[in-house]
């Protein structure tokens, strides 16, 4: 019952705020996306935070830098091209209450791009909130949030036979050394250090520009 009331409050509040937003700034969004964008600050205030940290400094048994991904334009991206940088992996969606984090993620990327790479992994697994094609997703992110960091091909991030290889590594302690936590919703964030060691898991409720993330980047 509580979750239903919260959902209603978010939608009503978002609808009210949406009325005051100049349509020109959101002309490439549908009505649901505009409401969710307007409601994002409220969503963050009401969200629980969960942060897992590799406090024992466990090392992976399988080399992260041996992995590769397919980008949403079909190109192949090798993880070993990011040796010496922090890497943040985020599962994303275009019609989620947390979609506003695209803006924070882009700001984080611009702030630390000399030593940080962010890679978004669009997924439709949570609430069917990413129904678009790879082309539609890329256009939405670029036009509405100015996203310039790489986006992977849309795929599976939860454990299954079709789970993307990067997420198999992120969510299996037998591979990464310590973590079995899968994404709990859209916009969960995994932080890997310069040597390919998984250091942190931040759930959706943790702001990409928050102190927890900045502390992780500062290690």
SS3 of 98, please? Answer: coil
DSSP-derived secondary structure letter, 204: T
Task: Note if 188 is an active site residue.
Answer: no
The residue among 123, 90, 102, 99 whose CA lies nearest residue 203 is 90
Cα–Cα dist 182/123, whole Å: 13
Cα–Cα dist 98/139, whole Å: 18
Cα–Cα dist 192/83, whole Å: 10
State both tokens at 97. 């209450």
Cα–Cα dist 205/104, whole Å: 13
- As a whole number of Å, the end-to-end CA separation of the chain is 41
- The one catalytic residue in 96, 117, 118, 192 is 96
- Please list the active-site residues: 96
């Amino acid at each position: 019952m509580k979750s239903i009331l919260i959902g209603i409050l978010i939608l009503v509040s978002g609808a009210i705020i949406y009325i005051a937003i100049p349509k020109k700034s959101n002309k490439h969004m549908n009505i649901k996306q505009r409401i969710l964008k307007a409601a994002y600050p409220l969503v963050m205030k009401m969200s629980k935070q969960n942060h897992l940290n590799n406090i024992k400094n466990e090392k992976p048994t399988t080399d992260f830098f041996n992995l590769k991904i397919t980008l949403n334009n079909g190109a192949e991206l090798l993880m070993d091209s990011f040796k010496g940088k922090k890497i943040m992996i985020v599962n994303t969606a275009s019609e989620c209450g947390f979609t506003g984090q695209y803006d924070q993620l882009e700001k984080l990327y611009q702030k630390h791009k000399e030593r940080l790479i962010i890679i978004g992994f669009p997924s439709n697994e949570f609430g069917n909130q990413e129904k678009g094609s790879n082309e539609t997703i890329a256009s939405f992110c670029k036009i509405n949030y100015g996203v310039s960091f790489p986006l992977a091909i849309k795929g599976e991030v939860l454990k299954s036979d079709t789970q993307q290889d990067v997420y198999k590594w992120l969510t299996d302690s037998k591979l990464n050394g310590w973590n079995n936590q899968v994404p709990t919703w859209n916009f969960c964030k995994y932080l890997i250090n310069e040597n390919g060691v998984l250091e942190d898991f931040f759930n959706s409720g943790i702001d990409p520009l928050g102190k927890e993330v900045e502390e992780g980047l500062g290690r």
